[in-house]
Amino acid sequence: MQLTDIRIRKFFDEGPMKAIASVTFDDCLAVHDIKVIYARDKYFIVMPSRKNPDGTYRDIVHPINSGFRAELEEAVIDAYHVQLVSMQHDGEAYADDAVIV
C-alpha cells in the first residue's frame, strides 16, 4: 500500500495538538482527521475516533500492524515538519490545506 498524498489541513500553535492531516492511500482511499500530537517531548499521530456512550474513544480506522503504523506516523510527521518549516521560511502565519506527497 502506497501513501500517495498527505495534506496538512490545519495547524495549531497552542496545546499538544499541532495539526490535522488527511492521507490518501493508492489514490483510492482517503482518511481524514489524523491528529499530529506533541507530548512528552515526542511527536505521534492519533487516528480518527468517535466517543462511545460510556465516555471511551474507539478508533474508526487504524493500522493493523506496527510496521505500517510506524511508516504512516513517520510520513505524516515528516509532512507536518516540512510544511511548518516552509511556512516559517515564507513568513506565513498558518495555512489550511497544505499538500505534501
Residue 97 C-alpha cell reads as: 490545506
Query: What total number of domains does the chain contain?
Result: 1
Residue 98 C-alpha cell reads as: 497544505
- Residue 76 sits in a domain whose CATH number is 3.30.1120.40
4 neighbors 25 (Cβ within 8 angstroms): yes
**Residue 100: inside a domain, yes or no?**
no
- Its domain, for residue 61, covers 3-92
Record the pTM: 0.85
What are the phi and psi torsion angles at 21 (to 5°)?
-125, 160
**Residue 24: inside a domain, yes or no?**
yes
8-51 pLDDT per residue, tens: 999 999 999 999 999 999 999 999 999 999 999 999 999 999 99
